[in-house]
């Protein structure tokens, strides 16, 4: 089973990397982009066959290590 975790900054948290990327895109004449936010994706290969248990375990991983929950939110998809 695979878990895909997308971690991204909470709304209202400044994203200097996103701003720099947005500026670079504009300087390359990509003018249709209104905003850029940078995040990260973590893909975990799990041994578990129980989808509900896997979701619980990955949520615990996110809360303990994978995301800084003070400034970041995350989404989990179990496949």
Rounded Cα gap, residues 45 and 1, in angstroms: 6
Rounded Cα gap, residues 78 and 32, in angstroms: 33
Total domain count, the chain: 1
Domain CATH number, residue 15: 3.30.1280.10
The tokens for 10 are 């909470």
The tokens for 27 are 């300087």
Run of H or E residues at 3? strand 2-9
pLDDT value, residue 73: 98
Does pTM top 0.75 for this prediction? yes
pLDDT digits (tens, 9 = 90+) for 9-62: 999 999 999 999 999 999 999 999 999 999 999 999 999 999 999 999 999 999
In sequence order, the 6+-apart residues with CB closer than 8 A to the CB of 11 are: none
Q: Domain containing 26: what range?
A: 2-78
């Amino acid at each position: 089973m695979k878990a895909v975790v997308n971690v991204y900054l909470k709304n209202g948290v400044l994203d200097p990397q996103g701003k720099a990327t947005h500026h670079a895109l504009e300087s390359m004449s990509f003018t249709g982009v209104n905003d850029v936010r940078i995040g990260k994706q973590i893909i975990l290969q799990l041994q578990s066959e129980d989808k509900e248990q896997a979701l619980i375990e990955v949520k615990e991983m996110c809360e303990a290590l994978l995301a800084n929950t003070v400034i970041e939110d995350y989404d989990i998809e179990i496949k």
